[in-house]
Structures are given as C-alpha cells and as structure tokens.
Amino acid sequence: MKPSYEVSNFGVTKYGEKASKFTLRGAGGVVLEVSDYGGKVVRLFTPDRDGAMKDVVVGGDDPSFWDGGDPYWGCIIGRVGNRIAGGRFSLNGKDYELALNNFPAGIGCSLHGGKRGWDAYVWSAKPFVDGDDVGVEFSRVSPDGEENYPGTVIAKVTYTLTKDNVWRVDYEAQSDEDTPINMTQHVYFNFKGESGGTIEDHVMTIAASNVTPTDAGQIPTGEIAKVDGTPFDFRKGMRIGERINEPDEQLEIGKGYDHNWVLDKGQGDAVGYAASLYCPLNGRKVEVWTTEPCLQVYTANWASYDQKAKGGEHLSFRCGVALETQHAPDSPNKPQFPSIIVKKGDIYRSSTEFRFSAQ
C-alpha cells in the first residue's frame, strides 16, 4: 500500500479560526485523522488480531467537543505540560505568575500550558509523503508573554506514520529567552473503541521502578518513591483495573491512576522503551518509546462524561488512557528533577513513538 493523505474541513473553532483535518493513510494500514487545531487526533484506526480495523481514540463528532482545555482530548500540550504549583516559578531572578486553571482538592495550579494552551490554537500545517512515510508538520509561534511565559517560542511538531505502523511524534522548539518547555501528546486510547466501556481490562506495562507521589493538589512532593509492593508496580504487565480501587492514598488523590512514573531508561537522544498497552479481547497493542525521562498515565478519572463520543454514545468513566511522555510535573519548582528550562537559542527536542501491532 502506498502512503497517502487527504485534507478536509474541520469547521471553525470557538476562537473563530478555520481548522482543517488531515487523513494520513500509512503504508502499513494504520490510518490517522488529525486536525491542525492543536494537533488533535480525531480518529486512529489500528488492526486487531484478525486484521479488523477500529478507531481506538476517544473523541467526538461535534466540533465543540474539541474546543480546547480540560480534558485535553487528543491534543498537543505546550508550552508546559502537567502542573506548576500555585502557577508560580522563578527564573533568572524573576518571578512569574501564571493563571490558575486547575483545582485538585480546591488547590489551584497551572495545568497543560494555562488558560489557552497550545492545544487551543490552529497551527500551520504541511502534510507530506516521504518515501514510505506519510505525515504532517505543525508549527506555531508562541509570542513572548503568552500565558505569562517569557520568550517567543517557535514550535514544531511532526506526526509521521511509517510502513511499520509506528506513529512518531517529533517535537522541536526554540526560544529567544530562557523559558520552560515540556511538551507532550494527550491522546486517550481505548482498544475496544471509545464507546466500548472502561479501559480497566487493558493490560499495561510500565518500565519504571519509581513514581513521583503527589500532595492533595496533585503536585509532586519531590520524593522519588519505589513502586515495589504498591499498585504502581507495572513492571510486569497487569490489568489497569486490577488494583485501581485498592485503598491507597495516592490512588485516592488521583481518583485512579494520574501519576508520573520515572522511566528506568532515563532520558536519551534516541527513543527507549517506556510502556505498553494491550487489549486481551482483540489483541490490539501499542508500545510507547520515547526520549523523555518520565510518563504520566491518566486513566480518565475526571473526564466530563456528559460529552458524547463520535458514535453518539455517552463516554463512560475511565473511557480511555493517556500515556503522556514528559519531564516530571512542577519541574520549575523542583531542582532535584531534571530541568525543563530551554536556554535562549538552544533547541528543545523530544520524540515519542507509538508502535501499533496486534497479538
């Protein structure tokens, strides 16, 4: 099969911007529908063990479904993914105050880039076919002071579908002032389809011996805790639902899994194995490989279930799982975590591969 793409209309966003959708048909059979509206993944078809294709990401038909912000369905997250405590950090002797847009246990923080993060903009898009690959390159300029962050950032995110059914996400950014950057992709998988019920029966493996526990406001305490003997030990594949309702302080804070695992492979220039998700019912599987040192796993414990999925059915509790490759939350306030400060003129680079297969 030759890779190909089509471009179609994706309506007008609540900010009045015209959006497009790109249907990428990979040479290996996987089909990825994405919008230039925040790089959102609208549909993603992967084969089961009999070769039957199904859309395995959570999304909606109504354009308003995609209108930015919580729960960040399928989008690119920037400038800073995850939480910053109290919306405050200091850099080069200057204090920065960000808008508070998330309130776990009533405690305010900045989440996923702020009130209008990078998910809520229409990006410039260049679709391409390159040999066996098909993809789309998204870019946008985030002006100095956007969401109160310092520095003008030129950001580029490239989605590539390979003949081996790998969806690769390459991030690149450059700033004219020192600034924090921690980008990720927020797609929610459900290998039974988005209306197929909870993902608690999916088997997850995470190559991590440590997590960063949080306080009630879901801000890491700074501790790096061993997963041994806890419901956070996924080093051997385990059903997500196996221990999710066990009495455990951390699971209570997150209302399930909503935590940052510290990957054993560490940070690297090349992608390394981070995690996998497998659905025993139909054999669909994804392996996540990344250059990032950490992974946030979020089992849709807070999603607003009054929303309708693409088929018109209501979304259920735990209708998807997001596997967000990243640096640790609240890094600007945690000197013991690897820094997310990108120096003026330096190039921020990060890559993650979602390798699809069936067993």
Catalogue the active-site residues: 186, 324
Q: Which is nearer to ligand BGC, 22 or 298 (CB)?
A: 298
Which residues are bridge partners to 85 per DSSP? Answer: 109
Look up tokens 């400038």; give the residue: 79
> 149: helix, coil or strand?
coil
Q: Which stretch binds ligand BGC (CB under 6 A): 40-48, 49-57, 67-75, 153-161?
A: 67-75
Residues 6+ apart with CB under 8 A from 131: none
Residues 6+ apart with CB under 8 A from 47: 29, 30, 53, 284, 356, 358
Q: Which is nearer to ligand BGC, 70 or 223 (CB)?
A: 70
In the complex, the smallest distance separating the C-beta of residue 26 from ligand BGC, rounded to whole angstroms, is 27
> 255: helix, coil or strand?
coil
Q: Does 119 bind ligand BGC (CB under 6 A)?
A: no
Q: Does 302 bind ligand BGC (CB under 6 A)?
A: yes
Q: Which is nearer to ligand BGC, 82 or 282 (CB)?
A: 82
Q: Does 324 bind ligand BGC (CB under 6 A)?
A: yes
Q: Does 68 bind ligand BGC (CB under 6 A)?
A: no
Q: Does 72 bind ligand BGC (CB under 6 A)?
A: yes
> How many residues are recorded in the chain?
359
# binding residues, ligand BGC (CB under 6 A): 9
Q: Does 212 bind ligand BGC (CB under 6 A)?
A: no
Look up tokens 């405690």; give the residue: 107
In the complex, the smallest distance separating the C-beta of residue 2 from ligand BGC, rounded to whole angstroms, is 36
Strands (DSSP E) along 186-320, which ranges? 188-189, 203-206, 210-212, 225-226, 238-239, 258-262, 272-278, 284-290, 294-298
Q: How far apart are CA 116 and CA 205, in angstroms?
A: 33
Structure tokens at 92: 């080069």
Q: Which of 258, 292, 330, 353 contacts ligand BGC by CB under 6 A?
A: 258
Interaction site with ligand BGC (CB under 6 A): 70-72, 218, 258, 296, 298, 302, 324
